[in-house]
Each structure stands twice: as structure tokens, then as C-alpha cells.
Amino acid sequence: MSKVIVITGATKGIGKAIAEKFAVQGFQLALCARNINDSIGWVRGLKTPALFLPCDVSNKKQVQYFAEEVLNKYGSIDVLVNNAGLFLPGAVHNEPEGTLEKLIETNLYSAYHLTRALVSSMVQKQSGHIFNISSVAGIQSYPNGGSYSISKFAMQGLSKALREELKTEGIKVTSVIAGATLTDSWAGTDLPSSRFMTPQDIAQSIWDVYSLSPNTVVEELVLRPQLGDI
């Protein structure tokens, strides 16, 4: 039976590239995004079994419903990619009220609730791999990073906690710490595309990490543009 990968924020950027990479490798897909209407044709074009549902990952009930539908369809999963995220610029001392709450709900709670809802199926099989898509902002704060950086530091904490809890269960946990990648987050930039990583490079790196033997886990995968952070 084909393996199953679950990806949040799967209709564009890094999430889309991961879905395409794993589809080529014969995986069945369970995908979600806030708005799926414009991407139904793309998912069908992947030519692999796929569950594709709308989900606002900042909403706990919607995340739990998505997880229930995944397990109802597939029974268990093999790979979970907590990719959905939101960037809002600002400084802690003057960013709009509610910025921290919105970013924590989207960037951290989404991964927390979805992992809790799905990980038992991995524990039962004593195998699986969780990838949490983080950011270099989660290891080094920068000006105008504000609550986004706080949320990504918290994501690092989630990955470390899961790693310690699940390593004896045969489940790998990898924090993907990515620098500037050419996605919609950089729309309108004056910088050349050569200054950025590509989503396909991130997806390839995740596949390479996943492909290691059961004896080895990459706990943290740090990826940056060749010329460094922007």
C-alpha cells in the first residue's frame, strides 16, 4: 500500500513543492489550505490519490476536523508536514494589537493541534516522520521580525519536545529552518530571483532527509540562500 503524507498550506510555495515531490514518489496525499478553489485542478493533475480540504489552520476545530477526515480515509499516516504559516512584519513594542495571538494561532497552535490529532497513528506503527517548517527567524531574531520571530522560536520548542517524546517510538522529528525562499511572501520585491532559494530546493532537501535509514534522523535542517540571509 502507498504511504501517506499530510501537508498543511499545500496550495502554494513550499507546501505545493513538497506535495509535487512526494506525489512523484508514489505517496498518497492529504492536503489542506485556507482556500482550495483555485487549486483543485492542480491537485487532480498530480495523478495520485488525494484528500484535499479547506482548512483555516488557526481554527482548532477546523484542524481537528481535517485530522479526522485524514484518518477516516487513510487509517494512518507516514509523514506529517506542518507547513502552513503566516508572516506579519512589525516590532514587538508597536505592532498592531493581536498580532502575536494571530501568529501563534497560525504558526504554532496549528502544528500543535494537528500533530496531537495524528501522531497516535504513527505510534501504533512505530514509524513516521514529522517535519515542522520553521524559519531562520526562529534561531536569530531580526529587526521588524517581532511576533513572527516569537512564533518561530516557539515552533523550535515544539520540535525539540516532540523529538524527545517520540524518538523511542520510531518516529523522526525534523525542524526545517529555512531562510528566504521565493514564495508569495516576497511578492513585489525588487531583489533578483537568484538571491532566493526555490521551494523545489526545500522540497528536495526534505525528501533527502526522509530517505535516510531508520538509524539516522536530521533534527535540524538549516537552509539559507548562497549569499546569506536577506
Can you tell me the distance from the alpha carbon of 225 to that of 195, in angstroms, rounded to the nearest whole number? 7
pTM of the model: 0.96
Other beta carbons within 10 Å of 163? 19
Helix (H, G, I), strand (E, B) or coil at 19: helix
User: Of how many residues is the chain composed?
Assistant: 230
pLDDT value at residue 102: 97
CA dist., res. 104 & res. 93, Å (int): 17
pLDDT at 1: 73
Q: How far apart are CA 129 and CA 132, in angstroms?
A: 10
CA dihedral of residues 175, 128, 53, 148 (deg, nearest 10) = -10
Weakly modelled stretches of the chain, pLDDT under 50 = none
pLDDT for 187: 77
Confidence at residue 98, expressed as pLDDT on a 0 to 100 scale = 96
- pLDDT digit string, tens, across residues 111-149: 999 999 999 999 999 999 999 999 999 999 999 899 999
The label of the residue with cell 514518489 reads 25
Quickly tell me which residue has 504558526 as its cell: 107
Determine the pLDDT at residue 170.
Answer: 98
pLDDT computed for residue 184 by the predictor:
81
For the chain, the structural domain boundaries read 4-223
Who contacts 66 (Cβ-Cβ below 8 Å, separation ≥6)? 32, 53, 55, 114
- pLDDT score of 38: 85
pLDDT digit string, tens, across residues 57-83:
999 999 999 999 999 999 999 999 999
> Quick one: fold of 4-223?
Rossmann fold (3.40.50)
